[in-house]
Structure 1
């Protein structure tokens, strides 16, 4: 069994072993993976340690580590909370993005492949995280205006499921990579009127399959990746784009990912029945 770590800012995970294949996800700096298979010297098939996602990565974009290092890095690390922040070494600077991992971080420095790096930004250790709706919303808002990118997981480009996954990663809640899998996690909120800020809403396409998701905000709004990370109105029917004057996504269900939050309220937050003068277009 062999393992690798991502030593670069952002590395694409592809659907097959070719540079022209679809980008299905990404690895960020410091994230770990198990090597499942090699195709020649150029490509390796990996299973990401954090979310078990499987795909192909160019072998020269990852760094081999020992099983002992994999165990140590998995047990002790911090998340970067900075949108963009360089890590500094004597002869190199590596820009890293929000949600990257700092292995064996001591609060100022860490070592990787014999090189000592300094990180001067804000970071948090998983064991110090106290998950809350307020923190989830704060992290989600940091991605505002990031462009939509299928398979993306960073402020340079992110998709809807990637946004939800990354935000909950930073409160140490592991979610699957795709919306169609995320919808089976957490607890169902029976009525959207009972949804709370920090809950996740899921949306279906015309075929009835889950194809989109976003994080519910206060004041009948949702933050999601659609063209870019943006905030739109949400009601029991779906996401309403005020600029276009139409619904863009049809609501299927809301789910509660935070543990210990009641699934009912004595006075549920009301979501308006429908927005006046709406046009239903999907």
Structure 2
């Protein structure tokens, strides 16, 4: 009997203590009423973390809640506060609104100052490359960490760029830079020089789409100035005054194909959007940019622009320049996954970056039939000359220049 007592008494005590502990834990884990409103606001204003930051949490302090975190979406923060006030939830707003002008010394804008700037998902060189920005591209700057800056590209993509890739500016400095004449580099890859002589010392490499300040023409060279202020010379055969290029730009189907073929053989690079290396959506983004259109960064974003023209592999309905999307279709339990994009060039063929930029064939009788991509085809969208809030047409934007009306005011 004593043995039974010795065995059962600790067991019973253990069960009682365990039950008490669980009960206490339940009491302690009181539901935070702000969580559902934070989630609701995030769904509305920042559903895609690639282009909007809303990293907000709350902690209970006494009979109220402290809102913590950061966001670059002022409207989202205001919406959250209004929702909490409507529910009579007491709170203290400690959310950090970006840009942090004080930390950045009012330099909340920037311009890429090297041929291609790498933008990563964390402020370190070993972090994943998420996108790139070419020379002369204006950026919004939100915060800094060490020698890194958290920036946003014109199409909205967020990431970290190191100090070597960006010339930080105040708003007025950016306006002054935009007011200057510009030059666009058109060759796939090349160089600028210290003197108007291609045998002189190189200043830097250049890639197609790079934008520099145009100082003047000197014979067969343009004198240019970088956003950092350094001067150089670019051969006239490989560049053109930006406004002149823009005025003559027609962006036809054949132009898109020609641009795509100029990039043939460019190696695949995850996160790349330049002739130095590009992923699938970086390739289509580069092709359209060189034809005067800024399209969203990723394939899963590009698919939401333009007009749908096919979902059933009726390729006879496609036109040159249409974008083909690939991935996994939605099921009863999973959402659609868009993981690849290419551009139609006619004759049952499309060009895309996969391993390298190359042409694939959808002719099932051809020796080079691309069965893999044929089987994961989702649909085709027509982007060229379509009006869409996800598209920026350089002829209609002030991305690199100031609007005429603003120039008059100044």
Q: TM-score normalized by structure 1?
A: 0.81
* Alignment of 1:110 onto 2:224: yes
Q: How does 1:41-80 map to 2 (within 5 A)?
A: 42-48=147-153, 50-71=154-175, 73-74=177-178, 77-80=182-185
Q: CA deviation at 1:105?
A: 6.7
- Which residue number in structure 2 is paired with residue 252 of structure 1? 378
Equivalent residue in structure 2 for 1:14, among 93, 113, 120? 120
Choose between structure 1 and 2: higher strand proportion: 1
Quote the Cα distance in structure 2 between the aligned partners of 1:245 and 1:216: 14
User: Structure 1 residues 181, 134: CA separation in 2 closer, same or farther (over 3 Å shift)?
Assistant: same
Structure 1 residue 229 corresponds to structure 2 residue 357: yes
Match of 1:200 in 2: 323
Q: When the two structures are aligned, how many residues end up with a matched partner?
A: 256
The aligned counterpart of 1:33 is: 139
CA offsets, 1:207-251, max 9 Å, x none?
63111111100211000001100000136x9xx995587323521
Change (3 A) 1:185 1:245: closer
- Looking at structure 1, the residues matched to 208 and 184 of structure 2 have their Cα atoms a distance apart, in angstroms, of 8
Conserved? CA contact 2:285–2:295, under 8 Å: yes
1:260 and 1:244 map into 2 onto residues whose CA distance is 31
Q: What do you get for the CA RMSD once the two structures are aligned?
A: 2.6
* Contact 2:183 2:239 survives alignment (8 Å): no
Q: 1:84-95 counterparts in 2 under 5 A?
A: 84-90=189-195, 92-95=202-205
CA offsets, 1:107-156, max 9 Å, x none? 62332333332221133533331110111111111110111000011222
Higher helix fraction: Structure 1 or Structure 2? 2
> Rg bigger for which structure?
2
Q: Which one has more relative contact order, counting CA pairs under 8 Å at least 6 apart?
A: 1
Which secondary structure does the structure 2 equivalent of 1:161 belong to?
Answer: helix
Counterpart selection for 2:347 from 219, 223, 229 = 219
Q: How does 1:255-266 map to 2 (within 5 A)?
A: 255-259=381-385
TM-score (norm 2): 0.57
Change (3 A) 1:44 1:81: same
Please state how far the C-alpha of 1:260 moved relative to its aligned partner.
Answer: 6.8
Q: Distance in 2 between matches of 1:55 and 1:256?
A: 28
Contact 1:189–1:195 under 8 Å retained in 2: yes
Partner of 1:19, secondary structure, is coil
Task: Report the equivalent of 1:269.
Answer: none
